[in-house]
Amino acid sequence: MSVGKPQQVRATVASTLAFTVCFAVWTIFSIIGIQIKKQLGLSETEFGLLVGTPILTGSLIRLVLGVWTDQIGGRVVFLWVMLSAAIATWLLTYAQSYQMFLVAALGVGIAGGSFAVGIAYVSKFFDTRSQGTALGVFGAGNVGAALTKFVAPFVMVAYGWQTVAQVWAAAIAITGVLFYLCTEDDPSLKARRATGTKPQSFLQQMEPLKHLQVWRFSLYYFFVFGAFVALALWLPRYLTGAYGMDIKEAGMVAAMYSIPASLFRIVGGWLSDKYGARTIMYWTFIVSAICTLILSYPPADFVVRGIHGPISFHLSTGVGGFIAIAFVLGFFMSLGKAAVYKHIPVYYPQHVGSVGGVVGMIGGLGGFLLPITFGMLNDVTGIWQSCFMLLFVIVTVSLLWMHFSILRMERRVVPQLKDLPQDLPELVSESPMTLTEWQPEDKDFWENKGRKIAQRNLWISIPNLLLA
């Protein structure tokens, strides 16, 4: 069934706006949680658990919501997700104890499941050549985290955290109704209804999850999305503790981190369509590893025994340097988020809901587990920078797994590279530096090509041997 440009634009814009509001509600505890922490006298670990609990719900339900979206359509699933989250957010104001706050936070987290719904819904309006850009635009709804950090601190200071929860609840309920009224069912759902075809069963939808590749994509998303959510939640606490900022200043800085980390996801989708998702993932992991390595170094004083006596010096990352590096990290995380989801509709076009759901679930679990772990690391080590030490380990493992998986894949398929579809993100065209033919005994081959290759390698090897 053909899809016109107006339908594509309407589906993308409406889904992006709805996801923006959902993300603002999903991260509401990053601001109101600080006042609740003071009100209840919570420890760092308890605070991390409270902030991360909505992320847990929004992560775990993504798989089921993705499957339901493939089966009954994104419009109705999106509506019920937003109305359910609105009710839970309003009821949050009636909580009195820490346990009640945790239960209410589980309900608030339903808003985070909207990501799996939107990915499955929007992707069905586009072909593989433009899905990366479309999903990048939708994913820019992450900017909802910045919306919460910009507005919520001022509302909370003026009227209290209860008012923040009530306003956010009303906003997501109204947005859900408007989304349903302004959109239409996706093309695949319409085609099934026209032909009377039954949707795939839950077990059929789960079939791709037996592939290790799906779980490798999930680890990528654990870092590029999970760490983004974790930092979006944790930065206000980090800045108030490590640099002594007040909550309004910290909220503004955290919001400014969230904006580029969200909006540049559109650029990541476009770059993935143009240059391939694999290239974007390499840049994401390499730059992120450098950034987290720098940020993981705690302030330290050194004394060197010099020729003329002791020489002392101090190493630390100032607040300006921290913000700049965090912005670079957020930018490349944003590119990586789009690149990961460029893979899914290409490799698993009939299972975008289930595969996208499980990848989003693992990524969302990163947003849940990492803030808790950050708090525990603070309690155990007493070092604020310990959170970035953990992120450095995660991104390094992800980079190495991706690199060696691609090398193994290329060794297996190099002879057939020219015959493979070029829209596969991980299988790009043959590199001019890749040697795919070597016949030195063939006189014609040697004279036309082999001699040049051998001489080039010889002259490159001589200085390497000298240095060795």
- Tell me what pLDDT residue 392 has: 95
Helices (H), 131-276: 131-139, 144-159, 161-182, 187-195, 202-205, 212-221, 228-242, 247-275
| Strand-pair partners of 310 | 305
Q: Give the dihedral of Cα atoms 116, 122, 123, 127; nearest 10 deg.
A: -170
- Predicted TM-score (pTM) above 0.85: no
Are 108 and 88 in contact by the 8 Å Cβ rule? The answer is yes
430 — pLDDT class (breaks 50, 70, 90): very low
- Tell me what pLDDT residue 429 has: 44
Among 36-50, 350-364, 381-395, 441-455, the least confident range: 350-364
- In angstroms, the CA 330 to CA 261 distance is 4
Instruction: Calculate ∠ Cα 333-272-398, nearest 5°.
Output: 45
Domains and CATH numbers, the chain: 5-188+199-302+312-415 (1.20.1250.20), 439-468 (no CATH)
On average, the pLDDT of the chain sits at 81
pLDDT above 70 coverage of the chain, percent: 88
Residues 6+ apart with CB under 8 A from 280: 268, 271, 272, 335, 336, 338, 339
For residue 384, pLDDT over 80 is answered with yes
Instruction: Calculate ∠ Cα 270-357-282, nearest 5°.
Output: 40
pLDDT digits (tens, 9 = 90+) for 47-70: 878 877 887 888 888 878 877 887
- Tell me what pLDDT residue 3 has: 64
Q: Which of 145-149, 175-179, 237-241, 259-263 has the highest mean pLDDT?
A: 175-179
